[in-house]
Amino acid sequence: MIRDLLGEPDHTRPNPIFRSGAPMALYRVSRVEDAEAGSDFTRRAEQAARRAAAARHNAQRRRDATLEMIRAAPIDVPDMDRRLLAERAVAHRNRRVDSDAEDPGLFPFPARVEDVPTAVRHRWEVNYLRHARTPYDSLLADLRGRVGRVQAELLLRRRIYAAIAACYPDLSEECDRQLARRIIIDRDEPP
């Protein structure tokens, strides 16, 4: 639009940010003011404003659809016997450590339920329920590349942790801790 309305620049200067970038085009203020006063500029500015509004509307519509997909997703957490849950959570952690070649840290490998402190076991139980017993990972994968992904991921995490806490009230504190930690990580990472 600038070239169409103003033609060739009155002067050029080297790009002050990138030496290899295109030179800056400089125009006399009187030429710019004359172009802005013309009907062609007004018409083009109105068209650009309409296109921008349509793009914002379309992005909001896609964002709303992404959030609705997460709101509508069924989140079912199985109600398991606590001993069985602990055993499966520890086994899940052992498989992850084995497959990821992760450092087992403070706990012997393979870990056993009776060797793990309650707080750590609760963390493993929440992780097991979230990753192995809910659609968390598949829903996260479905969000890649979608408008509204960041908000939808937060909504998904809140829904998953709330469902786990509702089914296992003694895990609610761990769910809150993991959610708070995740919010801090997401805040510090670029989208």
- Residue range 96-110, pLDDT digits in tens: 776 554 555 566 678
What pLDDT, on a 0 to 100 scale, did the predictor assign at position 110?
Answer: 82
CB 5 within 8 A of CB 41: yes
Token look-up 């993991």 returns 178
Q: Round to whole Å and give the CA distance between 5 and 43.
A: 12
Q: Round to whole Å and give the CA distance between 151 and 63.
A: 9
Distant-in-sequence, close-in-space partners of 164: CB < 8 Å, separation ≥ 6: 77, 126, 129, 130, 134, 171, 175
Tokens read off for 129: 């329920």
Query: pLDDT over 70 for what percent of the chain?
Result: 91
Distant-in-sequence, close-in-space partners of 108: CB < 8 Å, separation ≥ 6: 115
Task: Give, in order, the Cα–Cα distances in Å from 103 to each of 93, 97, 114, 170.
Answer: 12, 7, 20, 28
Every domain of the chain and the residues it spans: 2-63, 76-188
- Residue range 39-68, pLDDT digits in tens: 999 999 999 999 999 999 999 999 999 999
Q: Round to whole Å and give the CA distance between 162 and 174.
A: 11
Q: Round to whole Å and give the CA distance between 137 and 132.
A: 9
State the pTM of this model. 0.74
